[in-house]
Amino acid sequence: MNRLYQIALVLLCTLLLPGCYDQMNLEDASISLMLGLDVDDNGQLLVYLQSPVFSREAKEKSETVAVTADTIRLSRTKFDAVLTGITTGGKLQTILIGKRLLQQKDWFTLFDIFYRVPRLTETSRAIIVDGPVKEIFEFKPADKPRLSLHMSKLIDTSNQTNITVLTNLQELRRQMKEKGMTPSLSLIKKEKDNIFVTGTALLNKKDAMVGQLSLQESTLLLILQGQIHGVPSMVIVLGSTKDEEDSDKEATIKDAIAFDVATYKRKVRTAVVNGRFQFDIDLKLNIVITTLQMVDLNLTRNNKTEIEKITAAELTKQMEALIRKCQTKSVDPFGFGLYARAYQYKSWKNIQNEWGTAFADADVRIHVKTNIKSMGVTE
């Protein structure tokens, strides 16, 4: 009897072990790492796919396929008809979205499959391409790793250095559905023999791209969002230095102050005055000076207070210009609407479906204070 119990226990433990009945060899799979979406001249959806090749005989280590389809799900059937292995999307790292696709109404519905099918991932980085997506997929850099890996690493590095946002599919859906903010995505462009991150793309609630931010503006956006990573570096250009003997020529040396933001604190206060939303953003930045490229002004350790005033005034000026730029487009990538809903709900409730228009009329005031922690190593 004891022997029967032992046999039954062994069989029970065996049944509980994880099985591999659905295993798939790498040679039999086409693992999708990069997906591209664009439209042709006739408005037909173009779907691009790139996956690694696990074969010693293959000279190319990646295979790229482009098909036309009405949905992403229908494109898989066409991919299976061309690719060596069975198409799988659970390891997808980046999704490139063509700028022309954003002109199509309700383009975001194309991504419905990623939110319904559990096997697919929602951590893929969503990137907007300023130009044809085809140019990116045909790019074969000799001095860089596999293109799909290069693209994901490029966006991650750019976000870590605070020159663009990092928006994956899950975050994109949150921003699209959230009434208190508008979406913002990384923006790239291919020029000659390289791919550049050019900044951040701004979208409105109608799924349309309405503007873009430069690298410096993207850093300011992340500061106002409270999404800064590490120690961001910033440069403030104050003006040009001209030689008195050559006053007619254009200046080549510009007065500038470069610094690292060691730490910072952000506080957002909101109110409603005469039916108009009002936001006061207090920013306290502890900075480390890395460059004092000054000629007209003799800025040294002795006038630290003057440098703090200059940096604070210039940052305030740039942030105010950034906010006006977004208000002109009726977009709120900062998420100020979240504060309006949290602290001024009665007023928010009436305009929640038209927050872009309400934010365009809002009074946003920036208060920046900089504190120099170090002037760097000087003579």
Predicted confidence at residue 170, as pLDDT, reads: 95
Predicted confidence at residue 244, as pLDDT, reads: 47
Predicted confidence at residue 163, as pLDDT, reads: 94
Tens of pLDDT, residue by residue over 131-144, are 999 999 998 887 88
Predicted confidence at residue 102, as pLDDT, reads: 92
Which residue, among 136, 126, 224, 133, has the nearest Cα to 167 in the 3D structure? 126
**Could you count the other beta carbons within 10 Å of the beta carbon of residue 270?**
22
Which residue, among 264, 280, 261, has the nearest Cα to 272 in the 3D structure? 280
Asked if 223 and 337 count as a contact pair (C-beta separation under 8 A), the reply is no
What are the C-alpha distances in Å from 339 to residues 223, 278, 366?
16, 11, 15
Residue ranges in the chain modelled with pLDDT below 70: 1, 14-30, 55, 57-58, 84-89, 239-252, 295-302, 378-379
Predicted confidence at residue 173, as pLDDT, reads: 94
Predicted confidence at residue 119, as pLDDT, reads: 82
Which residue, among 219, 271, 266, has the nearest Cα to 367 in the 3D structure? 266
Asked if 43 and 107 count as a contact pair (C-beta separation under 8 A), the reply is no
What does the alpha-carbon distance between residue 334 and residue 368 come to, in Å, rounded to a whole number? 17
What are the C-alpha distances in Å from 49 to residues 31, 74, 86, 148?
10, 13, 13, 10
Predicted confidence at residue 152, as pLDDT, reads: 93
Predicted confidence at residue 167, as pLDDT, reads: 95
What does the alpha-carbon distance between residue 285 and residue 267 come to, in Å, rounded to a whole number? 12
Asked if 365 and 279 count as a contact pair (C-beta separation under 8 A), the reply is yes
Supply the pTM of this predicted model: 0.86
Predicted confidence at residue 77, as pLDDT, reads: 83
Predicted confidence at residue 33, as pLDDT, reads: 86
Decide: residue 77, CB within 10 A, 0-12 exposed, 13-18 middle, 19+ buried. exposed
For 55, what's the count of Cα atoms within 13 Å in the CB-facing half-sphere? 14
Q: Which amino acid is at 223?
A: I
What does the alpha-carbon distance between residue 298 and residue 346 come to, in Å, rounded to a whole number? 53
Phi and psi at 43, nearest 5°, equal: 80, 10
What does the alpha-carbon distance between residue 130 and residue 140 come to, in Å, rounded to a whole number? 18
For 200, what's the count of Cα atoms within 13 Å in the CB-facing half-sphere? 27
Structure tokens at 32: 């999708």
Q: Which helix (H) or strand (E) holds 311?
A: helix 304-328
What does the alpha-carbon distance between residue 285 and residue 282 come to, in Å, rounded to a whole number? 10
Give the angle subtended at the CA of 213 by the CAs of 224 and 107, to the nearest 5°. 105
